[in-house]
Structures are given as structure tokens and as C-alpha cells.
């Protein structure tokens, strides 16, 4: 699907028109209707991009590639969507899996630094909204596996069992990586604001 197609405005009608449900669009797209898939893309690309952007360490080019890869995979696998969950849930999970596969290819297992674990056990000062950019940069600077666990657990709301299954690690390792990531964040944010 070219970006030129996505940039074209939809035709305007005089009568108010309700947006088709995702399920209807999925059925039409699975039957080969590219326009229906474009509507799904427009509707869901922001959330998909946000998830893979964080998982890629805020790398804009990599996040764009992963977003496109996720939608290519979605197009290829539409016939496997069983309507047992919301399409947005299925697509989001697929996109996260695409990003995690990339992580597995490029990141060897990392050891947990004891000083980071100690730092993570100290109390955290309140976070104000003006520090969001600092937080995003600090998340991006985390080692890839620690960043993946933090994003999946604290931002996406996954449970350690789900994270462990997706990343091929024990539940305890997922918890240790989350602890590590939080300690590194605390250290990074503390150094910037002391």
C-alpha cells in the first residue's frame, strides 16, 4: 500500500455517514478490498506506531519500518483473525510481536547489574507532566530487553506471564528486567534533575 494512497482524502457526502465497524472492514479487507484495509490502517496506525516506537527505543525510522511490517503481516494474516477479540487487540498484539521478534534477533540476553537493582529499591519522587520528554528519552536509552519488559508491563499493561512467553524468559526474569529498567530510569531521571 503506497503512502500516496493513504494521503488521498476520502470522498465527502452530503448525508452524515456512520463509520463501518472494524469487523465489517476486516471481512471486506480479507475478501481483497484494499480500501477497507486502508480504513483499518488509518484507524489503528497511531496506536501501533506508539507501541513499536517505544519498543524500538524511540527510533523514528525503525518504528516506521516496524509499523509498516506490522500492517503487512496483518494484511497477510487477515484470514486468520477469528473475531474472538477486538481487531484492535489482535492487531496491537501482532505489532508488538513484530517488534519483539526484531528485539530477539538483535539483542543477546543481558545480565542484571546489582547496583541497578539496589537503586530501584529506593523511593521514587513524584513525576510531573513537564518531565515527559525526559522520561521518553530515558526509556529509549534502556537496554532493549529491559525496555521491552518495562513498555509491555507498565505502559501496555501485560502480565509477567505474557511477557515471559513472548520474550522466551521465565516470569522471574521478566520481574528482574522490570526491576532493572525501573532502577535505570530512576538513575537516569535522578541525574537529570539533581
pLDDT, one tens digit per residue, over 38-49 is 999 999 999 999
Burial class (CB in 10 A: 0-12, 13-18, 19+), 131: middle
Is the CATH code 3.40.630.30 the one for domain 114-192? no
Q: How many Cα atoms within 13 Å fall on the side-chain side of residue 117? A: 8
What CA dihedral angle connects 52, 53, 57 and 63, to 10 degrees? 80
Q: In the chain, what are the domain boundaries?
A: 19-106, 114-192
Whether 44 contacts 91, CB under 8 Å = yes
More confident position, 125 or 19: 19
Decide if 19-106 and 114-192 have a common fold: no
Architecture, CATH, for domain 19-106? Orthogonal Bundle (1.10)
The answer to whether residue 181 scores a pLDDT higher than 80 is: yes
What is the phi-psi region of residue 67: left when phi exceeds 0, alpha when psi lies from -120 to 50, beta otherwise?
alpha
Confidence band for 59, pLDDT divided at 50, 70 and 90: confident
Amino acid at each position: 500500500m503506497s503512502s500516496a494512497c493513504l494521503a488521498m482524502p476520502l470522498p465527502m457526502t452530503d448525508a452524515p455517514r456512520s463509520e463501518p465497524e472494524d469487523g465489517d472492514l476486516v471481512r471486506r479487507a480479507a475478501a481483497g478490498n484494499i480500501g477497507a484495509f486502508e480504513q483499518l490502517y488509518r484507524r489503528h496506525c497511531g496506536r501501533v506506531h506508539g507501541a513499536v516506537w517505544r519498543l524500538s527505543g524511540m527510533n523514528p525510522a525503525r518504528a516506521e519500518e516496524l509499523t509498516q511490517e506490522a500492517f503487512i503481516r496483518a494484511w497477510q494474516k487477515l484470514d486468520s483473525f477469528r473475531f474472538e477479540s477486538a481487531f484492535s487487540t489482535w492487531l496491537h498484539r501482532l505489532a508488538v510481536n513484530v517488534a519483539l521478534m526484531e528485539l530477539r534477533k538483535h539483542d543477546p540476553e543481558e545480565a542484571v547489574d546489582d547496583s541497578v537493582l539496589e537503586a530501584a529499591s529506593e523511593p521514587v519522587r513524584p513525576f510531573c507532566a513537564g518531565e515527559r520528554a525526559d522520561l521518553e528519552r530515558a526509556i529509549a536509552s534502556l537496554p532493549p530487553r529491559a525496555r521491552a519488559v518495562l513498555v509491555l508491563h507498565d505502559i501496555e499493561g501485560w502480565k509477567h506471564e505474557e511477557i515471559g512467553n513472548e520474550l522466551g524468559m521465565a516470569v522471574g526474569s521478566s520481574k528482574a528486567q522490570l526491576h532493572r529498567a525501573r532502577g535505570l530510569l530512576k538513575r537516569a531521571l535522578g541525574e537529570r534533575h539533581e
